[in-house]
Every structure is written in C-alpha cells, then in structure tokens.
Amino acid sequence: MNFSERVEQLKAELDKATAKNLEEAEQLRIKYLGSKGVFKALFNDFKSVSSEEKRALGKPLNELKSFAEERVAQWKAELSGAEVKHKDIDLTRPGMLGSLGAEHPISIIKREIIDIFHGIGFSVAEGPEIEDDWHNFSALNFPPEHPARDMQDTFFVKNPNGTEDYVLRTHTSSVQVRTMESEKPPIRIIAPGRVFRNEAVSARSHCIFHQIEGLYIDEGVTFADMKQTLEYFAKEFFGKSKIRLRPSYFPFTEPSAEVDVYWGLENELDHRITKGTGWLEVMGCGMVDPAVLESSNIDPEKYSGFAFGMGLERSAMQRFQIPDIRMIFENDVRFLQQFRSAL
Ligand code: PHE
C-alpha cells in the first residue's frame, strides 16, 4: 500500500468508527492519536515520501488528524453528558414547583380595589409623587393661606433654582387635576398611589401611606350616582351592603361626606374595629366643586361629577390583622412571606 492509499484507508476507517461509551472513546483515541498511534506512524513515514507526494498529501493528512481529534472530543462530551443524565434523572419523581414570591399586603388590597372599579368602567390614572402647589392645592380650591392646608401637614421640597417649591403630594387628589387637564369628559378613573404627610410615626399612623382616588365626570352626574357607586364598592370589597354618608368638609368637593360602612357588632373584634359603634369609616367623598372643574377648563354648566379618596393601610391592617402600620413599610421578609400569593 502506498502512502496515499494508507491515508484513504484511514479516512474510511475513521468515518465508520463509533464509541459506545467513554472507555471505547479513550481506546480509539489511543489507537489513532496516541504517542504510538496510527497518526504518529503516518507522520513519521511522511518524512520519507517524495516532495511531490508531500505537496499533495500534507494538507489532507493534517485535516484528517483534526477530524479525528474532533470526533474523539465529541464522543467524550456526548458520552459523559449521557452518563450523568442517565444517573441523575429519575423520571418517576414527583415534580417540584418553583417557589413563588409573596404579594405585599398593600398590593393585594390595591389590586382588589382596582378590579372592582374596572368592573364598572373606571381605568387607572397616575401622577407624580413630587407635585407642584397647583396640582396638590391651588387647583383643588385651597387658596394660599387657607387654613384647610393645615389639615394636611406638608413636606416641602426645595427647588434648587429658587423659583417655585414643590411638595410631596399629600393626597392622590392631585391626580384628579392632572386627569381633568389632559382628558375630556366622560372621565372615569381611579388613581392609586403613595402620599406623604409630616406626621409623627406611631403604630396607627405613618408619614408615608397609600390612597386610592376616584373621579367620575360626565353630563348629569348626581349625588345619587355617587352613593350607588360607593354602595357597590362596599358590597364588593367589604362584603357589607349598608353604608351611610356623614356631612364633612373638603375644599374641592361640595357637598362633601365621610362614608361609613355598617360592620355590625357581632363579636369582640367588631367592637374593636368599630370602636363600639358598629360603623367603620372608610373614605372621604363629595361632588366635585364647580371651581375645581373650572380650574381644569371643564365647563361646570355642562358637566358635574363626584370624587372619593380612601387610605389603603387601614383596610390592609384590618383584613390581615396587622397590629402596627410600621410593619407595612419595614419590608421584613418574615412578615412579607405570610402573604403568599394564592396563584
Ligand atoms: N383627598 C382627601 C384626603 O386625603 C380625600 C378625598 C378625596 C375627599 C376625594 C373627597 C374627594 O383626605
């Protein structure tokens, strides 16, 4: 057999070669690529072939060696993977669920309330937490120096340019203004968000909390529409169908009311929650003051509407029996993990 026939034969052999396991792969490696292997011999003999043959066969020989090396590496990779897989996978074992994160109690309450209002055509609106005086106060009918501004202890944010100061919004009512400025009636929105008040932190109150605002503006919206809407909400959210409206005051609504839900006084907890009255105060509401509509360029002769606003912490605390509002903001995992999502 001349040199070129030997190369041809080796190629045919390598094409057919297979290894069934790691051991066979190693044996083939030694046979062909080892220090006393077939390639070694071929390369040795290559030295003594004619220069013509060298030119013709050098390249194919080198390629064949690379091919052999690749085949061996491939067998080894495949076979070692296959062996491990075979050993480690037990197809009869029951499946394992990935661990689910917990949903924050405030998020749970927020999601429920959004769902309830989605059902009657309200969509979600948002606004910034750092707000200007206009959207937090002036457009809502709080004139400068008006004592009603004291109802809400405000955090001020210094504007480095020295022009106008900003505030951390004290309520989500600022989103009412932003929505009325950018949309034409009919408007039906709810606006969930964080609000800030400069209050001493205790087990019952915090300087950060969450509200959900509601706003409905259209032609011919009445106080009765508001009451119906809030009754529907009380039934869906608290599972209680009796509410009452007590006269109240907000600069941006007229008339204004506090909404109480009849909770009942069946047990010890009911007494505690309702301070012995059977009624639970849940939100503020009222008919949007015509001056507020006007501030946002909505014609009060043509349109009317109602607004309401409620805090989320109190509902969350009551629903999940959270004894201290500070727990809601501390993000202690041991606390948060208790609210595993039911997904
Ligand atoms: N913004 C009021 C508050 O923070 C709540 C409210 C909203 C009242 C909308 C009436 C209408 O207390």
Q: What is the pLDDT of residue 49?
A: 85
Give the residue, by CA position, lying nearest to ligand 1 atom 10: 285
207 with 308, same domain?
A: yes
Ligand 1 pocket (Cβ < 6 Å) reads 171, 173, 213, 250, 253, 284-286, 307-309
- Measured from the CA of 170, which atom of ligand 1 is nearest? 4
Q: What is the mean pLDDT of the chain?
A: 90
Of 16, 51, 85, the last residue of a domain is 85
Best residue among 149, 169, 171, 306 to mutate for probing ligand 1's pocket (most ligand atoms within 8 Å of CB) is: 171
66 with 117, same domain?
A: no
- Count structural domains, the chain: 2
Best residue among 149, 250, 252 to mutate for probing ligand 1's pocket (most ligand atoms within 8 Å of CB) is: 250
Whether 308 has a pLDDT exceeding 60, the answer reads: yes
State both tokens at 295. 């501030």
Eight-class DSSP state of 93:
S
156 or 305: whose pLDDT is higher? 305
β-pairing, 130-132 vs 208-218, is unpaired
Q: How far is the CA of 308 from the centre of ligand 1 (A)?
A: 6
Q: How far is the CA of 310 from the centre of ligand 1 (A)?
A: 7
Cis ω for the linkage preceding 186 (within 30 of 0): yes
284 within a domain of the structure (yes/no): yes
Whether 324 has a pLDDT exceeding 60, the answer reads: yes
288 with 318, same domain?
A: yes
Of 85, 119, 142, the last residue of a domain is 85
282 with 191, same domain?
A: yes
CA–CA distance from 332 to each of 19, 31, 104, 326 (Å)?
Answer: 57, 64, 11, 11
Q: How far is the CA of 289 from the centre of ligand 1 (A)?
A: 12
120 with 205, same domain?
A: yes
Give the residue, by CA position, lying nearest to ligand 1 atom 5: 309
Q: What is the pLDDT of residue 341?
A: 65
73 with 209, same domain?
A: no
The predicted-structure confidence for 214-263, as pLDDT tens digits, reads as follows 999 999 999 999 999 999 999 999 999 899 999 999 999 999 999 999 99
140 within a domain of the structure (yes/no): yes
Q: How far is the CA of 103 from the centre of ligand 1 (A)?
A: 27
Give the residue, by CA position, lying nearest to ligand 1 atom 2: 309
Give the residue, by CA position, lying nearest to ligand 1 atom 4: 171
149 within a domain of the structure (yes/no): yes
The predicted-structure confidence for 126-142, as pLDDT tens digits, reads as follows 999 999 999 999 999 98
Q: Percentage of the chain surpassing pLDDT 70?
A: 95
Whether 100 has a pLDDT exceeding 80, the answer reads: no
The predicted-structure confidence for 31-52, as pLDDT tens digits, reads as follows 999 889 888 988 888 888 888 8
Cβ neighbours around 29 below 10 Å, total: 19
52 within a domain of the structure (yes/no): yes
Angle between helices 22-33 and 51-88 (to 10 degrees): 170
User: Which range of residues forms the domain containing residue 68?
Assistant: 3-85
CB burial of 263-286 (b: ≥16 within 10 Å; e: otherwise) equals beeeeeeeeebbeeebbbebbbbb
pLDDT-derived band at 85 (thresholds 50, 70, 90) equals low
52 with 159, same domain?
A: no
Of 57, 85, 113, the last residue of a domain is 85
| Mean pLDDT of the region 317-323 | 91
38 within a domain of the structure (yes/no): yes
Distance CA 213, CA 201 (A): 23
38 with 122, same domain?
A: no
Q: What is the pLDDT of residue 148?
A: 63
80 with 119, same domain?
A: no
Q: How far is the CA of 136 from the centre of ligand 1 (A)?
A: 11
Whether 83 has a pLDDT exceeding 90, the answer reads: no
- CATH number for the domain spanning 203: value is 3.30.930.10
